[in-house]
Structure 1
Amino acid sequence: MDFRTPELDKLAAETVPQAYFELSAEDARDRYFADTRMLDGKQLAHNRFRTNPRTLVDHLLDQLALTGNERWLDLGCGNGFIAEQIRPHLPQGQVVGLDIAPGVLDAARQRLAGVATPCDWIEGSADDLSMFSDNVFDRVTAIYMMHYVPDIAACFREVRRVLATGGRFVVTTDRPDSMVEMFGVHFAAMKQMDAPAHLFKATPKARISLDNGREQLAPYFATVELVTWQDQLRFTAVGPFLDFYAAHNYCCAASRPGDGLEPGFFTELRERAGEYVQQAIDRDGYFAVTKFTGSFVCQ
Structure 2
Amino acid sequence: MNVDNAHSTPTQLFDFGLDYIRVHFGSNTALYTQQMTHNVYRQNRATMVDHILDCLDLTGREAVLDLGCGNGFILRDVASRLRYGGRAVAVDISPAMLELAQRNVTISWAPLEFVEGRAEDLSRYPDGTFDRVMANFIFHYIEDPDLVCGEIARLVKPGGHAIVTIEARHSMPEMYQMHFDAMETVGFPAEFIARLPRTRRGKMVLDNAQEILSRQFGTVEERPYVDALRFESAEPYMTFYATGHRFCGARAMAADDYPDSMFDQLYAEVEAKVKARIAEVGYFELSKQNSVFVCS
Query: Same fold by TM (over 0.5)?
Result: yes
Shift of 1:86: 2.1
Give per-residue Cα distances to partners, 1:93-140, cap 9 Å, x unaligned.
111111101111100011225632211111111010011111001111
SS at match of 2:206: coil
Return the match for 2:120 from 123, 127, 135: 127
Structure 1, 57-66 or 252-261: larger mean CA deviation: 252-261
Do structure 1's residue 178 and structure 2's residue 174 form an aligned pair?
no
Secondary structure at the counterpart of residue 210 of structure 2 = helix
Preserved CA contact (<8 Å) 2:76 2:107: no
Code of the aligned partner of 1:49 = Y
Alignment pair present for 1:33 and 2:25:
yes
2:131 aligned with 1:118, yes or no?
Answer: no
List alignment gaps of at least 5 residues for structure 1: 1-18
Contact 2:131 2:157 in 1 (8 A): yes
**CA contact 1:68–1:90 (8 Å) conserved in 2:** yes
CA positional deviation for 1:194: 2.9
The residue number in structure 1 matching 2:193 is 199
Instruction: Specify the alignment match of 2:232 in structure 1.
Output: 236
Structure-1 residue corresponding to 2:44: 52
Residue 155 of structure 1 aligns to a residue whose secondary structure is: helix
Q: Distance in 1 between matches of 2:258 and 2:108?
A: 45
Alignment counterpart, residue 245 of structure 1, candidates 227, 241, 250:
241
Mapped contact 2:172–2:288 kept (Cα < 8 A): yes
- Of the three residues 221, 232, 238, the one matched with 1:225 is 221
Counterpart residue identity of residue 103, structure 1: A
Structure 2 gaps of 5+ residues are: 1-11
1:270 to 264, 267, 271: 267
What's the Cα RMSD here? 1.9
Instruction: Measure, in 1, the Cα distance between the counterparts of 2:165 and 2:254.
Output: 25
Question: Do 2:141 and 2:202's aligned partners in 1 also have CA atoms closer than 8 Å?
Answer: no
* Aligned position for 1:137: 130
Quick one: which amino acid aligns to residue 244 of structure 1? F
Aligned equivalents of 1:257 and 1:214: distance in 2? 35
Alignment check: 8 A CA contact 1:20 1:203 kept: no
Q: Do structure 1's residue 99 and structure 2's residue 98 form an aligned pair?
A: no
Q: Quick check: 1:139–1:168 contact (8 Å CA) kept in 2? A: yes
> In the alignment, what sits opposite 1:6?
none
- Match of 1:52, SS state, is coil
Aligned to 1:281: 278
Secondary structure of the residue aligned to 1:183 is helix
Give the aligned partner of residue 73 of structure 1: 65
Quick one: structure 1 residues 262 and 123, their matched pair in 2 at CA, closer, same or farther if it must change by over 3 Å? same
Tell me the equivalent position of 1:13: none
> Tell me, what secondary structure is at the counterpart of 2:103?
helix
Distance (whole Å) between structure 2 residues aligned to residue 276 and residue 102 of structure 1: 38
Q: Provide the secondary structure at the position in 1 that maps to 2:239.
A: helix
Deviation at 1:187, TM superposition (A): 1.3
Contact 2:223 2:291 in 1 (8 A): yes
Q: 262-271 or 50-59: which moved more?
A: 262-271
Q: Is the 8 A contact 1:140 1:169 kept in 2?
A: yes
Deviation at 1:75, TM superposition (A): 0.9
Deviation per CA, 1:7-43: give whole Å up to 9, x if none: xxxxxxxxxxxx96541123201x1000111111011
State the AA in 2 paired with 1:50: R
Q: Contact conserved, 1:25 with 1:150, CA < 8 A, in 2?
A: no
> Is the CA contact (8 Å cut-off) linking 2:142 and 2:202 kept in structure 1?
no
